[in-house]
């Protein structure tokens, strides 16, 4: 930690800061410049709240060297985390991108869900997505079928062999969702629902954590830290777009820079949701390709048997022929990248 003192800081203020840090177990190095004094505090900054130091008299600025997320950081684990999702599907490291696809909501048309499940299975997707519990902006919108929806997903999984990912919204429902799902999803609205993060941290299923609509990358990784701290190391991060300024053309701004940034600072797998990230059907294919080029470990794509009749997010869902076409393109890109990587080695 670097503590920069104000040019006007007096010796008494400097020594108080030095004494405070040394009492906390830090080793300090004092660098007195012509204009201001800088204090290097060497130790584990996770043991303190930097804001308490920043509030001390004479302190101008705090600069952190060590990231506040410990378990999720490259500092604590150099090698990539590879998560076994089940049925031979693994995500992370050099494994090919995992594709999760399906409708936004599990609707009361079970046959439609089964149709989508069989179709995405044939294209090479490994995970069926679908919301049984739906967080909606309006209380008048479809809220999900709850356990009935979970049962529909399980039936589709039994028929196709696909894994299931579905969202949990409340800590009291974690046990129920884990009973049916192979992967538990934490939606963007709940990224900082710390009680819920603790609850899924105590379950034995992989957790996919979506980035909040206004969350910084540091806040995103700290949310993952809550899950890991509670005991669950199997966290998958998911970029799903952040709030932008051009709502006319996109629902959100898909921040693909998060993929290489997370891979630099964290060992956790990172995937991309181009459906929520753009909110526009025609943007899903190009942004999926871009995500793969950026190094994503997976994609989450909304697919519906009749998007224009979908209960939710129809405008950002592909129909089955569209998804088949997109997957053909994506599989070609993945094959090309794999061949290129082998050639380099």
pLDDT in tens, 262-313: 999 999 999 999 999 999 999 999 999 999 999 999 999 999 999 999 999 9
Q: Name the CATH topology of 2-63.
A: Alpha-Beta Plaits (3.30.70)
pLDDT in tens, 42-91: 887 766 888 899 999 999 999 877 777 889 999 889 999 999 999 999 99
DSSP assignments along 76-138, one per residue: T--SPP-EEEETTEEESTTSPPEEEEE-SB--S-HHHHHHHHHHHHHHT--EEE-BSS---SS
CATH number of 83-344: 3.20.20.70
Instruction: Please report the pLDDT score of residue 46 as a whole number.
Output: 66
Arithmetic mean of pLDDT over the chain:
94
Q: Which residues contact 52 (CB under 8 A, 6 or more apart)?
A: none
pLDDT in tens, 199-220: 999 999 999 999 999 999 999 9
Q: Per the structure block, which two tokens stand in for 179? A: 């009973």
Tell me the domain boundaries of the chain: 2-63, 83-344
Instruction: Please report the pLDDT score of residue 345 as a whole number.
Output: 67
With a pLDDT cut of 90, the percent of the chain lying above it is 83
Q: Under a CB-based contact definition with an 8 Å cutoff, are residues 297 and 271 in contact?
A: yes
């Amino acid at each position: 930690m670097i503590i920069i003192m104000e040019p006007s800081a007096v010796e008494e203020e400097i020594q108080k800061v030095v004494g405070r840090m040394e009492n906390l177990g830090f080793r300090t190095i004092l660098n007195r410049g012509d204009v201001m004094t800088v204090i290097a505090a060497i130790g584990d900054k996770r043991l303190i709240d930097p804001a308490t130091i920043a509030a001390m008299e004479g302190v101008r600025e705090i600069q952190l060297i060590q990231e506040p997320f410990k378990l999720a950081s490259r500092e604590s684990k150099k090698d990539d985390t590879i998560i076994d999702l089940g049925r031979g599907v693994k995500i992370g490291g050099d494994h090919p991108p995992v594709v999760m696809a399906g409708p936004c909501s599990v609707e009361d048309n079970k046959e439609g869900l089964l149709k989508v499940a069989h179709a995405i299975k044939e294209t090479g997707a490994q995970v069926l997505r679908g919301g049984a519990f739906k967080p909606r902006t309006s209380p008048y919108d479809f809220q999900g079928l709850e356990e009935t929806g979970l049962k529909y997903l399980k039936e589709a999984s039994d028929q196709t062999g696909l894994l299931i990912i579905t969202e949990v919204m409340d800590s009291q429902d974690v046990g129920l969702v884990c009973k049916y799902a192979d992967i538990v999803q934490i939606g963007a609205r709940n990224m900082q629902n710390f009680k819920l993060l603790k609850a899924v941290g105590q379950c034995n299923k992989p957790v996919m954590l979506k980035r909040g609509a206004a969350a910084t990358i540091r806040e995103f990784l700290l949310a993952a830290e809550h899950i890991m701290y509670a005991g669950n190391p199997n966290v998958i991060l998911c970029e799903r777009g952040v709030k932008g300024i051009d709502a006319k053309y996109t629902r959100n701004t898909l921040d693909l820079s998060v993929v290489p940034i997370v891979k630099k600072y964290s060992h956790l797998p990172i995937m991309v949701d181009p459906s929520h990230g753009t909110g526009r059907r025609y943007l899903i294919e190009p942004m999926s390709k871009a995500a793969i080029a950026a190094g994503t470990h997976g994609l989450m794509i909304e697919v519906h048997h009749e998007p224009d009749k979908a209960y939710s997010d129809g405008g950002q869902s592909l129909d089955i022929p569209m998804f088949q076409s997109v997957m053909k393109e994506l599989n070609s890109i993945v094959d090309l990248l794999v061949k290129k990587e082998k050639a380099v080695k």
